[in-house]
Structure 1
């Protein structure tokens, strides 16, 4: 005998639309080989968990897990259908639950109300975002920084990012007070917001990552690098060849360096290669490397800029690489 748990539609709408404008109803159908006692057991567990607006019925031909959306009043009504399989699991679009996982099931239903049915089945990639969400964040973070940043408060950079892109910024409360006092160490003008901010934050042991809070648009979170499961990268892969990416790096010059620090030598070369040169301050601080205190030497030779830079940086156990930001702008990144 199949137990039916039916809530009147009128009650369903009132219960959910008062607070959320959106509403749901859950229909559980029993699969061909579901245990005969499963409907009663599930009904009892759902009631104990406070999950209402549920009905359980026998399976019909063509039944499958699904979420259907329809307009109801000023909101959206989600008709959620789940199937009880032979193992006693409730199979829903994108997830399945045992009877001991009613808390997780309740969370699933809340997520449907917050983000819609498609969010439950959409493929997730970097930062837990859908393809569309990631591409939108990538495009927005690819907008160029159009003002001078050196010495300016980092908070000024993030505030301008929010104004220029529409992305909300969420600073972790653990670092919020310190963040307000931090200056930007580098000149990042012409780089994109994503890459530039990633560089500025890394220098302070911080990281940024886009995230999708429940029921809200994608935002940018700033937190301790150690607490970030995934951080926005400094530079992105490119298929361009080195000569296409940075032609100046392959120009040969006569060179001889002596009596200068590494910092001075790199500063003299930077304008010649026609791209920003940026240092990984955090990595160098961790290894106690100060470019201003490292003596730079290079015997007289005729060689391209990329080789000059490589040989100079090697003397401080550093490595340089041409990278591109979200907009394809090149820069030279010096790290360990």
Structure 2
């Protein structure tokens, strides 16, 4: 009978050991500091007072040394990191760490940097970031996730339903900010047909009339995700397409097809409806800008004198009569579409 008792005892011990192992897996961050020639005399003590509340495991001051390599070393394991950050206190009384420099007293910013190192590892604090504060690798991840094509008709669909259907097919989490939760209750419907465009561009188009935008982000310790927020809350957002790298005539040759034409006192909406199928690309309207400038496609009458010309010139002529312009843009997979907005670009 002793063997079962030993086995039971071992199992009980394991049940207590597992949580302990998980707790020890939390990353540790220590700081080793050297001083640069000219660093203020007695400044080390002041910096220690700042750093002691920055969630560091240990702080070590070393004697003044030349040629200190500012870096991060992991003296633990991948599963249980023990990061040692080698930094420098400079002659300007700043703290220089890998990829960043802090002024004296920036306790909150230093703490945030330490937390990011713990949550996202060395790459999280050393990789170069660009637009949206993301690394090149993360931007490519977002772009790839938004390349899927819309396979359903959008015209007449409620904006909120269109957003839900698009988001459901993405490989990234979509988070809604407070403004988005309020705006998506709207009964407003999608006015344009976006079937065939990629998800990123289509989602940006659907959100714009609601005063919303799409923003990729990487919260500390979390995966890259897409956030839908009010357009007035951010400085940069995912665009409604990009300028094509090729000549517009190469990607939309129908725009430059010659024909005999005469348009006399016809509603702009009617003229565009007649032209659109011949261009073989979606027409996408900037309804926000048009509403702001009180432009109604149904009430504006347009004219084009009889003669031989091509579709792009016809479009430029009729749109200008309503203070509008058009330009060729492409989505995430280089599918072309025509973006129509006011001459005073918003």
Please state which band the TM-score falls in when normalised by the shorter chain: 0.7 to 0.9
Asked if residue 110 in structure 1 is aligned to residue 115 in structure 2, the reply is yes
Asked if residue 331 in structure 1 is aligned to residue 337 in structure 2, the reply is yes
> 1:312 Cα shift?
0.8
The correspondence for 1:47, drawn from 38, 52, 71, is 52
The correspondence for 1:25, drawn from 25, 30, 49, is 30
8 Å contact from structure 2 (residues 162, 206) kept in 1: no
Asked if residue 189 in structure 1 is aligned to residue 195 in structure 2, the reply is yes
Q: Which residue of 2 aligns with 1:251?
A: 257
> 1:238 Cα shift?
2.3
Distance in 2 between residues matched to 1:227 and 1:61, nearest whole Å: 45
Taking structure 1 as reference, are residues 19 and 185 closer, same or farther at Cα in structure 2, changes over 3 Å only?
farther
8 Å contact from structure 2 (residues 25, 79) kept in 1: no
Q: Which runs of 5+ in 1 are unaligned?
A: 1-13
Distance in 1 between residues matched to 2:284 and 2:336, nearest whole Å: 11
Taking structure 1 as reference, are residues 299 and 105 closer, same or farther at Cα in structure 2, changes over 3 Å only?
same
Taking structure 1 as reference, are residues 240 and 48 closer, same or farther at Cα in structure 2, changes over 3 Å only?
closer
Distance in 1 between residues matched to 2:32 and 2:246, nearest whole Å: 53
Taking structure 1 as reference, are residues 71 and 145 closer, same or farther at Cα in structure 2, changes over 3 Å only?
farther
Aligned-CA RMSD value: 2.4
Distance in 1 between residues matched to 2:78 and 2:130, nearest whole Å: 35
- Matches for 1:206-217 after TM superposition, within 5 Å: 206-217=212-223
> 1:316 Cα shift?
0.6
Q: Which moved more, 1:153-162 or 1:75-84?
A: 153-162
- The secondary structure found in structure 2 opposite 1:272 is helix
Q: Which runs of 5+ in 2 are unaligned?
A: 1-18
Give me the TM-score of the superposition, normalised by structure 1.
0.88
Distance in 1 between residues matched to 2:133 and 2:173, nearest whole Å: 17
Q: Which residue of 1 aligns with 2:158?
A: 153
**Runs of 4+ in structure 1 over 6 Å off:** 14-17
Aligned residues: 323
The correspondence for 2:134, drawn from 129, 132, 143, is 129
8 Å contact from structure 1 (residues 158, 169) kept in 2: no
Q: Which residue of 2 aligns with 1:275?
A: 281
- The secondary structure found in structure 2 opposite 1:127 is helix
The correspondence for 1:286, drawn from 285, 292, 314, is 292
